[in-house]
Structure 1
Amino acid sequence: MKKIILSALVAILILASCQEQKPTFTLTGKLNSNGEKTLVVNVLDGTNFNALDTLVITDGVINYSTTLESPLLMVIGEDKTRNSVSFFADNSAYTISGNVDSLNVASITGGAAYDLYKKITDSEQRIAEVSRELRPKFAAANQAGDTAKANAIYDEYMAEAQKVDDIKAELVKANPTSPVSAFVVYNMYRHGSLEEMKEGLAQLDSTLTANSYYKALMERVALLETVAVGKEAPEFTQNDAEGNPVALSSFKGKYLLVDFWASWCGPCRGENPNVVKLYADYKDKGFDILGISLDQKKDAWLKAIEEDQLAWNHVSDLKGWGNEVAKLYGVSSIPHTILLDKEGKIIAKNLRGEELRAKIAELLD
């Protein structure tokens, strides 16, 4: 009986040893440190950074492993500080060396995903160096009133920036099935227009549809399609400064400019004088404005309304970028405007200045 049991155990062990081992991400190496240190392992999974794990450095030695569901951007660093290192990770062997107090300059080697993404970070490092070099020259030219020189410096910077975009475009074109390409497309187009995002997705292979970055971009496309020109604006209700609910549908019968802004937004405040004049000229002709603030501090919001003399309706839930209406409409940058017709249909987006005035004049003059 003992021999039978022993034979069974041996068979199980042999079977287990013959099974294919699941690939893992490993990080080994040495980071100079005083005593024991704990670092947080974060990953950008779609649109959110999530804490995946922690790793402990003992006597400067790192020996960490985990299994990643797919290649993704990883950030390892001290909790609640900017001392971190970021890189693209996959289930293969990585090494790291350097100092735990300056992780941003740590030396890393890695797998195929790391090598591919490093081409991007190397080019971005170059544009950062160019920016540091040209910034004081640009400021000096502006201060001296030398517009021609300032423009030439700006053109030099933009030429270098275009090189980075070209490198990214070539990387995606040459590697349409790579998760790195999905990340690059996501990063390039996530704040773009609906058409730009669709163009970006078209560059990727359909095998990436399960990739978190691909899915995040697809989800944003789906959201923006619900608030595209020609669609009926989604209904919402949000409170004004006195706590009174204001419904979007209450403005039907007028052309309405829905203006997403904030007291801390310089471009928003810079545009406000144009909007104030436009409102004064057309408020009695069937034009209205609803301001939706992405402020968090009520006092700052109300002070800006008073200072800029914004004499129209204003609402906010004081959640900043978490504003529920902003999320409903896919707002990722401000100022952001949406123009509605009298029936509540979206007829234009992101019109400002003379372009906005010309559109209102076309509708109401």
Structure 2
Amino acid sequence: MKTKIKLLILCIGIGFSIISCGTQEKHDGYILNGVVEGAPDGIVTMSIEDKLLDKVIFTDTTQIVEGKFTFKGKIEHPDMVILKLGKVQTSFILENSEMELSMDLNQETDYLHTSIVTGSVSNDLYMKSNAEMEAIIADEKYQPLVDNNNKLKEIDQSTKEGVQEVIKLVNEVQTTLYPLFTERNNRMTKVALSHVKNNPSSASSPWIIGGSFMGLSPEKQKEVFSSFKGDAKNTCYYRIFENTINSNANKLVVGKNILDFTLQTIDGKSLTLSEVEGKYILLDFWASWCGSCRKSMKHVKHLYENYKKDGFVVVCVTTGDTDAKWRKAVKQDGTEMWHHVFDPRSNAKRKKSGKVADLYGIKGLPTTYLIDDNMMIVGENLRGESLDKKLEELFGH
């Protein structure tokens, strides 16, 4: 009898154990299992950086042992993460699901490695369209563009000869290679727009349209932006687009008054734009690394000589640059007779624009404004022949 009771209790215990295991709650966050060939033991980190806020808004850390690691946690919304292992990094869209990552450090030498990630629906969508765009870039007809870019990377821009070579190569893209450049960009933009149209709620959409968004017309930007839904609206890139849309609404255009600022000149004095004396002022945002900026200055020097007696003044704002390179470029280009001010970057570790350029909503260099003595904009991004005609109209000769 005692034996029967013991057996009954044992069976009941086993039964409860089975029921307990069967009803165990499933993890509602992410589990990322990684296998990395050739990786030393150490620390692996995942992070999301909000570039608009200039801060890390999510981070997770784990250990890699014998080439394997596991992350387990929960993310508020799917978004692109950067995974770092020592000096090596890779990126993918993390979401709350069971995911697998594989990477071989023996196959690549660059710090940015290719990884294979499975288990993330958002990342699968992103990789599919990204592969289409990479196929366009790899098209043999666009090889001259690739060659041009490779040459630019190899040039030492610290020398006068290097700067001249950069200007030459940039000019080549803007002239003989421009039709090819435009065609390739249009094809890639078409892929990105199709992705957004078919996946408006996916976190992949803002990331796949990425840089192409900035090349769209303000009207098209607004159309694309308003199409985002769900997870797409919670990504870091969406907030960048939102900032762009807001900037467009307050954009400085002909007929509006320019914003005032105060910056340090090349000789350490303070310059306030509203205090600069001149009948017409050309405000030029540029950088030492911008070949087209420096090329256009050659023509402005000619115009300055023609109109300086009439009250034509040039104020150059260097942004996204270093102090030393700025000073060297001014001397190399022979433009010391103009007003030069430096717009320091808020984070010197990155090539990003300064506070004044951000205030103005500058999206690319060079950007110029022609203003009158009442601080009103009378011309925007006038260069070459268009600037010639405008100054001739304003000064009467």
TM-score with structure 2 setting the length:
0.73
Q: Which residue of 1 aligns with 2:382?
A: 351
Shift of 1:326: 1.5
Instruction: Kindly indicate whether residue 91 of structure 2 is the aligned counterpart of residue 86 of structure 1.
Output: yes
Instruction: Name the CA distance, whole Å, in 2 between partners of 1:136 and 1:228.
Output: 33
Instruction: Name the CA distance, whole Å, in 2 between partners of 1:191 and 1:55.
Output: 39
Q: Any idea what the Cα deviations from partners look like across 1:282-308, whole Å, max 9, x if unmatched?
A: 222232211111265444333322332
Q: Any idea what the Cα deviations from partners look like across 1:156-200, whole Å, max 9, x if unmatched?
A: 776555433222111111122222223334432246664453243
Query: CA separation of 1:156/1:327 partners in 2, compared to 1, >3 Å: closer, same or farther?
Result: closer
Shift of 1:272: 0.9
Q: Which residue of 1 aligns with 2:102?
A: 97
- Amino acid in structure 1 at the alignment position of 2:71: Y
Matched position secondary structure for 1:272: helix
Aligned counterparts, 1:67-146, within 5 A: 67-79=74-86, 81=87, 83-101=88-106, 102=108, 104-130=113-139, 134-135=143-144
Matched position secondary structure for 1:232: coil
Q: Any idea what the Cα deviations from partners look like across 1:303-342, whole Å, max 9, x if unmatched?
A: 3223323221111145473422112212232111122233
Given that 1:286 and 1:364 are in contact with CA atoms closer than 8 Å, whether structure 2 keeps it comes out as: no
Q: Which residue of 2 aligns with 1:313?
A: 339
Shift of 1:100: 4.2
Aligned counterparts, 1:101-250, within 5 A: 101=106, 102=108, 104-130=113-139, 134-135=143-144, 159=183, 161-190=185-214, 194-205=218-229, 209-229=233-253, 230-250=255-275
Instruction: Name the CA distance, whole Å, in 2 between partners of 1:266 and 1:291.
Output: 15
Shift of 1:202: 3.4
Q: Which residue of 1 aligns with 2:35?
A: 30
Instruction: Name the CA distance, whole Å, in 1 between partners of 2:36 and 2:333.
Output: 53
Matched position secondary structure for 1:91: coil
Q: Any idea what the Cα deviations from partners look like across 1:204-259, whole Å, max 9, x if unmatched?
A: 34885554322221123323433420332221111112221111111366222110
Q: Report which stretch shifted further, 275-284 or 316-325.
A: 316-325
Query: CA separation of 1:260/1:129 partners in 2, compared to 1, >3 Å: closer, same or farther?
Result: same
Instruction: Name the CA distance, whole Å, in 1 between partners of 2:178 and 2:368.
Output: 29
Q: Which residue of 2 aligns with 1:338?
A: 369
Given that 1:256 and 1:287 are in contact with CA atoms closer than 8 Å, whether structure 2 keeps it comes out as: yes
Matched position secondary structure for 1:304: helix
Q: Which residue of 2 aligns with 1:11?
A: none
Instruction: Name the CA distance, whole Å, in 2 between partners of 1:306 and 1:104.
Output: 40
Instruction: Name the CA distance, whole Å, in 2 between partners of 1:318 and 1:333.
Output: 16
Given that 1:68 and 1:91 are in contact with CA atoms closer than 8 Å, whether structure 2 keeps it comes out as: yes
Matched position secondary structure for 2:113: helix
- Share of identical aligned residues, percent? 28
Matched position secondary structure for 1:316: strand
TM-score with structure 1 setting the length:
0.79
Given that 1:134 and 1:153 are in contact with CA atoms closer than 8 Å, whether structure 2 keeps it comes out as: no
Aligned counterparts, 1:222-301, within 5 A: 222-229=246-253, 230-251=255-276, 254-294=279-319, 296-301=321-326
Q: Which residue of 2 aligns with 1:6?
A: none
Instruction: Name the CA distance, whole Å, in 2 between partners of 1:156 and 1:251.
Output: 42
Query: CA separation of 1:296/1:90 partners in 2, compared to 1, >3 Å: closer, same or farther?
Result: same
Q: Any stretches of 5+ residues in structure 2 without a counterpart?
A: 1-18, 149-174, 346-350
Given that 1:176 and 1:204 are in contact with CA atoms closer than 8 Å, whether structure 2 keeps it comes out as: yes
Q: Report which stretch shifted further, 101-110 or 272-281.
A: 101-110
Given that 1:39 and 1:56 are in contact with CA atoms closer than 8 Å, whether structure 2 keeps it comes out as: yes
Shift of 1:85: 1.9
Q: Report which stretch shifted further, 241-250 or 190-199.
A: 190-199
Q: Report which stretch shifted further, 28-37 or 351-360.
A: 28-37
Given that 1:260 and 1:335 are in contact with CA atoms closer than 8 Å, whether structure 2 keeps it comes out as: yes
Q: Any idea what the Cα deviations from partners look like across 1:75-105, whole Å, max 9, x if unmatched?
A: 21234x3x32222222112111232454723
Instruction: Name the CA distance, whole Å, in 2 between partners of 1:136 and 1:223.
Output: 31
Q: Which residue of 2 aligns with 1:45?
A: 50
Given that 1:45 and 1:72 are in contact with CA atoms closer than 8 Å, whether structure 2 keeps it comes out as: no
Shift of 1:112: 1.6
Give the number of equivalent residue pairs: 337
Instruction: Name the CA distance, whole Å, in 1 between partners of 2:302 and 2:177.
Output: 36
Shift of 1:135: 3.5
Q: Which residue of 2 aligns with 1:143?
A: none
Instruction: Name the CA distance, whole Å, in 1 between partners of 2:251 and 2:92.
Output: 35
Instruction: Name the CA distance, whole Å, in 2 between partners of 1:347 and 1:45.
Output: 36
Given that 1:95 and 1:108 are in contact with CA atoms closer than 8 Å, whether structure 2 keeps it comes out as: yes
Matched position secondary structure for 2:310: coil
Instruction: Kindly indicate whether residue 354 of structure 2 is the aligned counterpart of residue 323 of structure 1.
Output: yes
Instruction: Name the CA distance, whole Å, in 1 between partners of 2:147 and 2:46.
Output: 39
